[in-house]
Amino acid sequence: MLDPILLVEGGGSGRAVPVIILLVALAGFALAYFIVGPGKRKGPKRYADIPLAMRPYHSDEELETTGMERAMAWGVALSAFAALFLPLYWLIEPDRIERNVQQFYEQDVADGRVEYQNACASCHGTNLEGGSAPHPDPDIDVAWPAPALDNIVARYEDSEIVEDVREYIELTLVHGRDGTPMQAFSVASGGVFSDQQISAIITYILSVQTGEIPEIDAEAFVGQSGEDLFAMHCANCHGQVGQGRVGPQLLNVFERYGWDPDDPDSAETPRAVIRHALENGRRVPGEAPMPAFDQVLTPDAMTRIIDHIETFQETGGPSFAQIGGPPRVAEADEGGND
């Protein structure tokens, strides 16, 4: 008798179809074996005391008549079984797999919700709305902003630095981001979460995406200088005076892209490269990626930041030969890895 739970949970009677087919097939085999089991002989068990390997076998006449007929009957039965069972199972298998995938997905979402609340909500918000974390430098009292995660897919939909959002989240969870409050959570990287737990967290994050990106409030930048904007959006990674921290130092970034203090026009290329990095972000292998600010800052705010960066430029940094030469702005516009 079939278990009633099997018929109710996860898909109703449709889920029991493979079990029914298997039970019918087994019953058919049992019946066939009882009627014409292979090697079955009538009469008393004459050789009960003789080892099986030493007993006389069927006579030639029996092998060529009833024995051969039994073998042919089994061949027909097995052929009929394969001809009926395999196509039928092929028809119902996709639906069964789909139900199981949905069931595992829902379980991952539920597990991921629990793990997220335990490990991520304190910084990124209970509802993934974003928040803050303690600054990794104990001498700095300013909190480190933690981005919202409920719109991460929409934010990186047209990104030049992130092609696969799920992979991007996974790499961040597994390895963390050096120099930031984002620690590594994978056991392989010194964390406490298994691959399955990390996968569940990612599945949960992706399951609650709102797709809503807040519009930039231009009024919020009124009266803020380039120095103020740099301190708010850039200093955490590049240092308060551009000396470098998580991100590279910016003290001679203009010089690296062809700037000559005696030639005002030479600042055009480095300014364009910096604006491209601000608008599109930047991803360098082995380093924490720089996020895009096109959804955070207005063009005017970016201009003020670039103006401020220009005020503390120095000369005497690495030569073009040491860093491979300055890229053309056109290349930066195409690749994003300026």
pTM, two decimals, is 0.66
Could you tell me which residues come within 8 angstroms of residue 231 by beta carbon, excluding any fewer than 6 positions away? 240
Distances (CA, A) of 316 to 254, 255, 299: 11, 8, 30
Q: Is the pLDDT of residue 2 over 80?
A: no
pLDDT for the residue 53: 78
Please provide the average confidence, as pLDDT, over all residues in the chain: 81
The number of CA neighbours under 13 Å toward the Cβ of 191 is: 19
Q: Is the pLDDT of residue 91 over 90?
A: no
Q: Is the pLDDT of residue 50 over 80?
A: no
pLDDT tens string 111-120: 999 999 999 9
Cα of 72 vs its chain's centroid, Å: 54
In the chain, where the domains are located = 4-105, 124-207, 221-335
For residue 327, give both structure tokens: 């890229």
pLDDT for the residue 33: 60
Cα of 30 vs its chain's centroid, Å: 48
Confidence category of residue 30, pLDDT binned at 50, 70, 90: low
Q: Which of 124, 132, 180, 118 is CA-nearest to residue 151?
A: 124
Q: Does domain 221-335 have CATH number 1.10.760.10?
A: yes
Backbone torsions φ then ψ of 214, nearest 5 degrees = -60, 140
Sign of CA dihedral 243, 248, 250, 252: positive
- What average pLDDT does this structure show over 290-296? 90
User: When comparing pLDDT for 199 and 138, which is higher?
Assistant: 199
pLDDT for the residue 174: 93
pLDDT for the residue 322: 39
Alpha helix (H) residue ranges in 60-213: 60-62, 68-119, 121-124, 152-155, 165-175, 195-207
